[in-house]
Amino acid sequence: MAEIVVYGHRRTINLKRTALTGAIHGAIMVALEYPADKCFHRFIALDDEDFVHPEDRGSDYTIIEISMFEGRSEDAKRTLIEELFHRIGVEAGIAPHSVEITITETPKVNWGIRGVNAADLALNYKIEI
């Protein structure tokens, strides 16, 4: 399971939401071997005065927070980050310099999904990659 939150300037989010979703989900499918139907994204579009950052990041500055079950290898997480930078640059036109990514992992037992504890779920994809 991976939940994605994307923060950006309102104008950038409004213009690039579809491209960002495609880029992010494409990276997740490649790096984490996710099925195509497992796409969970939330976009937080901020007014300029509510999104403070260094000027050199520009108006396309985008923060991506990924919450996921623990268990992925360091290589899988490195691949995910590389794929995100590449795909967001190519598909959404946002330079890697203007993108920041964080991954937070927690045990499945800390998640509740579809009315049950995630530790009790049978998943149709693997976590240990």
Assigned fold of 2-120:
Macrophage Migration Inhibitory Factor (3.30.429)
Q: What is the pLDDT of residues 29-80, one digit of tens each?
A: 999 999 899 899 999 999 999 999 999 999 999 999 999 989 999 999 999 9
Alpha helices (runs of H) in the chain, residue ranges in sequence order? 10-32, 74-87
Name the pLDDT band for 124 (thresholds 50, 70, 90).
low
Q: Which two tokens stand for residue 106?
A: 């927690």
Q: What is the pTM of this model?
A: 0.90
| C-alpha pair distances (Å), 113 with each of 65, 119, 122, 125 | 19, 10, 11, 15
CA distance 107 to 119: 8
Name the pLDDT band for 84 (thresholds 50, 70, 90).
very high
- Whether 125 shows a pLDDT value over 80: the answer reads no
pLDDT computed for residue 49 by the predictor: 96
